[in-house]
Structure 1
Amino acid sequence: MTLSRRTLLKTLGLGAASLSLPGFGRLAQAAPAGPAPVLHQIRLGEMTITALLDGHLAVPAAAFTGYDAARAEETLSGSFYSEGPQGLEIPVNGYLVERGGQYTLVDTGTAQLMRPDLGGLMAALSAAGVAPAQISTVLLTHMHPDHAGGLLAADGSAAFPNAELVVAEAEWAFWHDDAIMASVDEGSRGFFQMARNAVAPYAQRRKVFAGEGEVLPGFDAMPLPGHTPGHSGFVLDTGATPLLIWGDVVHSTALQFANPGWTIPFDVDQPLAAETRKAMFDRAAADQLLVTGMHLDFPGLGRVERDGAAYAFDQAPWQFGL
């Protein structure tokens, strides 16, 4: 099976025609309501982390660069994973962090920008008892629409009216570079326009950072380039076990731990994305890091383990009763 970038965009509900629209506030307004709210709270030291499920994408296994049918069948065999007619189900997660009565949101989901079975993050936030106006900071791992789309309300205004937006300087610069935007194909230009539109209401209250270091108390940035130029994770100083929210280091729990060299067409630099993933797997396994990510199986908390020459994800059990 051969998938073009345009075919994959269509699969994800992001056809080239809709990508070419100058704004997506109207798309959000016209789209049907998202899925029912799904959330799960995790208490780590001084922080309560609430995983918020935005919904699911179905991505064909054959979409991954490096895909080998026999290897995919071997990887999925004997597991609970199976590929449906549209592909493997991949979650889209965001994370709400509460510490000392302050609320920080890490990524914002899609709003109603993509498929009707996405866009549930705001409902999950409401079910957690937190209003958008209570969010003081939004940290973006990167500016793809399934991470930044929820920055906008249906009318195109800021969905989080009191929040400071924190994003890597390299990420902001990439999506706002007119020369780069002009150099890509027409379908991909829509991603640039969506990224720009999503962050526009926050232009006067944004904070950019470069490299590693503290971006706000209790949160350290970790550059994880390859997926996008400024793709970053955030290490949370919980006062107990540190937690790394690693963004899109992994898109498919089912496939990429066993096949870390497999990349996805939305990786801007696919060799670098694979290199970053392998290095992160090595570090996480060696240091027994507690990690979570935006496309790990919900709620996404666990540790990376070595599995021969490959890796596996040891998912933490749900914490009941919180």
Structure 2
Amino acid sequence: MPTNTRRFPKLAAALLALGVATNPLPAAAADFTQVPGVYRQAIGDLQVTALFDGVAFLPVQQLKGMPPAKTQASLDTFHVPQTQDGVQTAVNAYLVRRGGELLLVDTGTADCFGPALGQVLGNLRAAGVRPEDVRHVLLTHAHPDHLCGVLTADGQMAYPNATLWLSEADARYWLDPATRDLAPEAMHPLFDMARRAVAPYQAAGRFKAVGDGDALPAGVERVATPGHTPGHTSWRVHGSGQASLLVWGDVVHYHAVQLRHPEAAFEYDSDRRQAVASRKRLLAEVAERGEWVAGAHLPFPGMGHVVREGRHSAASYRWVPTEFGPIGKP
């Protein structure tokens, strides 16, 4: 598993602890790669750009609370790509233009997870946006595939004019040296990465840990979805009228399984019972609202809608991805 082990000697063990495997494309596929991972979607007056960071592979065995045969049946039904390392899983970030302001939800992995990922910053530039123009970076949580991208390769602020927003509960957990010391040693690099990533923003007065009732950027709503991490947050961005987009971070990892069976948990949720409860509540809410949703680990571009299936007492859902279409004004 290729990783940036020179910076974090124990990072490979930490990534294994999170259940993540990363693989670069084989040499034979080098001339068969995709164009830059950028997708634009208009949602009312919101202009949303999905930014692809790359793919990771999550072992099927790390999906808990489901019989293996039932899990595999769901993966087969939806033709989810699998390798010997696990289920292909996208890593996405989302840029939202609201009025004259640019908001970025999550930032990808930068160089923390090896050469198969770390494409958000390049794809942002490919979309014609300068990182200096981003005013707010909203983090769903402090795991490295969402947080590492706040820094450049030389450790500087990738978004020097942005304020970094993270939930108070995640900040307390991931940025506290005492919590790190109590965690398993294999997890220590994850704490180190989180502290290193936010340090320049803290020094510049551009880091905000937010709790209930705290002021947020205009049009932004913080939706608490704890369980995957203590302070995991989904962010809702409101446009004019009824237009809105909910970016739910890691509420779902295995979309083909966890939408049909929301009770299925991920082995490395910090509180599996709470994560399941958050997922059930949020899926019911967005399906009822008919709201636009974006997910960090949904197949790129990861935007679409959730619809409820059947009328059984145990709720089951289906993902309806956005359809490609031309947007914009001449």
Q: TM-score, normalised by structure 2?
A: 0.85
C-alpha deviation, 1:278, in angstroms: 0.9
Aligned to 2:322, which of 304, 316, 319? Answer: 316
C-alpha deviation, 1:222, in angstroms: 0.7
Write the mapping of 1:80-99 to structure 2, written as runs, cut at 5 A: 80-99=79-98
| Aligned partners of 1:285 and 1:303 also within 8 Å | yes
Are 1:149 and 2:148 counterparts?
A: yes
Report the counterpart of residue 275 of structure 1 in structure 2. Answer: 277
Deviates more, 1:95-104 or 1:204-213: 204-213
SS at match of 2:36: coil
In structure 2, C-alpha distance between the alignment counterparts of 1:160 and 1:288, rounded to whole Å: 33
SS at match of 2:52: strand
Write the mapping of 1:229-244 to structure 2, written as runs, cut at 5 A: 229-239=230-240, 240-244=242-246
2:51 maps to amino acid: L
Deviations 1:160-209 (A, max 9, x none): 11111111111111112222211111111111111111111100211222
C-alpha deviation, 1:288, in angstroms: 2.0
Give unpaired runs (5+ residues) of structure 1. Answer: 1-9, 22-31
Are 1:284 and 2:276 counterparts?
A: no
In structure 2, C-alpha distance between the alignment counterparts of 1:101 and 1:62, rounded to whole Å: 45
Report the counterpart of residue 65 of structure 2 in structure 1. Answer: 66
Change (3 A) 1:184 1:120: same
Report the counterpart of residue 7 of structure 1 in structure 2. Answer: none
In structure 2, C-alpha distance between the alignment counterparts of 1:128 and 1:18, rounded to whole Å: 35
Change (3 A) 1:38 1:20: closer
Report the counterpart of residue 157 of structure 2 in structure 1. Answer: 158
Are 1:102 and 2:101 counterparts?
A: yes
In structure 1, C-alpha distance between the alignment counterparts of 2:248 and 2:75, rounded to whole Å: 24
In structure 2, C-alpha distance between the alignment counterparts of 1:127 and 1:187, rounded to whole Å: 36
In structure 1, C-alpha distance between the alignment counterparts of 2:245 and 2:325, rounded to whole Å: 16
Q: TM-score, normalised by structure 1?
A: 0.87
Report the counterpart of residue 28 of structure 2 in structure 1. Answer: none
C-alpha deviation, 1:79, in angstroms: 2.5
Report the counterpart of residue 295 of structure 2 in structure 1. Answer: 293
Q: Percent identity?
A: 37
RMSD: 2.4
| Aligned partners of 1:290 and 1:303 also within 8 Å | yes
SS at match of 1:77: helix
| Aligned partners of 1:55 and 1:117 also within 8 Å | yes
C-alpha deviation, 1:286, in angstroms: 2.2
| Aligned partners of 1:42 and 1:48 also within 8 Å | yes
SS at match of 2:54: strand
| Aligned partners of 2:45 and 2:243 also within 8 Å | no
SS at match of 2:147: helix
2:295 maps to amino acid: G
| Aligned partners of 1:55 and 1:119 also within 8 Å | yes
Change (3 A) 1:85 1:20: closer
- Structure 1: which 4+ aligned runs deviate by more than 6 Å? 32-35
Change (3 A) 1:213 1:277: farther
Change (3 A) 1:293 1:212: farther
Change (3 A) 1:282 1:321: closer
In structure 2, C-alpha distance between the alignment counterparts of 1:13 and 1:68, rounded to whole Å: 32
In structure 2, C-alpha distance between the alignment counterparts of 1:191 and 1:271, rounded to whole Å: 23
Deviates more, 1:203-212 or 1:106-115: 203-212
Write the mapping of 1:191-202 to structure 2, written as runs, cut at 5 A: 191-202=190-201
Deviations 1:201-256 (A, max 9, x none): 10021122213675111111111111111111111111142211111111121221
In structure 2, C-alpha distance between the alignment counterparts of 1:149 and 1:318, rounded to whole Å: 30
| Aligned partners of 2:46 and 2:243 also within 8 Å | no
Report the counterpart of residue 218 of structure 1 in structure 2. Answer: 219
Deviations 1:72-117 (A, max 9, x none): 1221233222422221111100001112332111110000110311
2:217 maps to amino acid: L
Change (3 A) 1:214 1:304: farther
Change (3 A) 1:77 1:53: same
| Aligned partners of 1:35 and 1:117 also within 8 Å | no
Report the counterpart of residue 28 of structure 1 in structure 2. Answer: none
Aligned length: 302
| Aligned partners of 1:17 and 1:187 also within 8 Å | no
Report the counterpart of residue 250 of structure 1 in structure 2. Answer: 252
| Aligned partners of 2:39 and 2:49 also within 8 Å | yes
Change (3 A) 1:288 1:146: same
Give unpaired runs (5+ residues) of structure 2. Answer: 14-23, 26-32
